[in-house]
Amino acid sequence: MINIVLFGKPGAGKGTQAEFLKEKYKLTHLSTGDIFRFNIKNETELGKLAQTFIDKGDLVPDEVTIKMLQSEVEKNPNSAGFLFDGFPRTIAQAQALDAFLGTKKEVITATIALEADDEILVARLLERGKTSGRADDQDEDKIRNRYQEYNEKTAPLMGYYKEQGKFYAVDGIGSIQEITERLSSVIDNL
């Protein structure tokens, strides 16, 4: 089983690349954003709980997010592996994910970061914001704030996975096909 964590700042192309990787390697794509939206829309017990925090403007606690991910993993017992997109975002979340996978006799195989210059990513998101309808892709200050949050909270995860020998950086600039080939090269050599 291959379990991959896909990292990258907003606009780095995680969602686009996840689509190709899940098909090529027959992985179950677990996007925390998609999982949250599904649970909230369908008013699941966890969705209702998450909504109470969101309504107050608070971050959803790790334990709720982990339970949602665990539920998705449980729904896919015959998966060839999982592609985690948007999770973990902190070392505490990574440790919780490791502990959960350990109960399944599984581990994170690799973490791959799509790296790109902030200025290129800001331009990408502003362009995406013209058609996506996402307010957070239309305001440069909000975009830069998301990058600062990424640097403060998510970037330390790189050290966590480097210590385990599971961290790989991939150049996230180029054509979609070029980036897919770079990612595939890493995965094929695991």
**Cis before 88 (ω within 30):** yes
On whether 33 is known to bind a ligand per the annotation, the reply is: no
On whether 81 is known to bind a ligand per the annotation, the reply is: no
On whether 124 is known to bind a ligand per the annotation, the reply is: no
On whether 77 is known to bind a ligand per the annotation, the reply is: no
The token duo for 163 is: 């210590």
On whether 88 is known to bind a ligand per the annotation, the reply is: yes
On whether 89 is known to bind a ligand per the annotation, the reply is: yes
On whether 188 is known to bind a ligand per the annotation, the reply is: no
On whether 172 is known to bind a ligand per the annotation, the reply is: no
Tell me which residue of 116, 96, 105, 104 sits closest to 160, measured CA to CA.
Answer: 96
On whether 13 is known to bind a ligand per the annotation, the reply is: yes
Angle at 6 between CA 164 and CA 133, to 5 degrees: 155
On whether 138 is known to bind a ligand per the annotation, the reply is: no
CA atoms within 13 A on the CB side of 12: 23
On whether 16 is known to bind a ligand per the annotation, the reply is: yes
Residue type, 157: L
On whether 11 is known to bind a ligand per the annotation, the reply is: yes
On whether 169 is known to bind a ligand per the annotation, the reply is: no
Q: Whole-angstrom Cα distance, residue 178 to residue 67? A: 35
On whether 90 is known to bind a ligand per the annotation, the reply is: no
Q: Whole-angstrom Cα distance, residue 16 to residue 144? A: 21
On whether 146 is known to bind a ligand per the annotation, the reply is: yes
Q: Whole-angstrom Cα distance, residue 7 to residue 32? A: 13
On whether 15 is known to bind a ligand per the annotation, the reply is: yes
Residues 15, 83: contact at Cβ < 8 Å?
no
The dihedral built from the CA positions of residue 4, 17, 86 and 141, taken in this order, carries a sign that is positive
On whether 130 is known to bind a ligand per the annotation, the reply is: no
On whether 129 is known to bind a ligand per the annotation, the reply is: no
Residues annotated as binding site? Answer: 11-16, 32, 37, 58-60, 86-89, 93, 128, 134, 146, 174
Binding-site positions for AMP: 32, 37, 58-60, 86-89, 93, 134, 146
Binding site members for ATP: 11-16, 128, 174
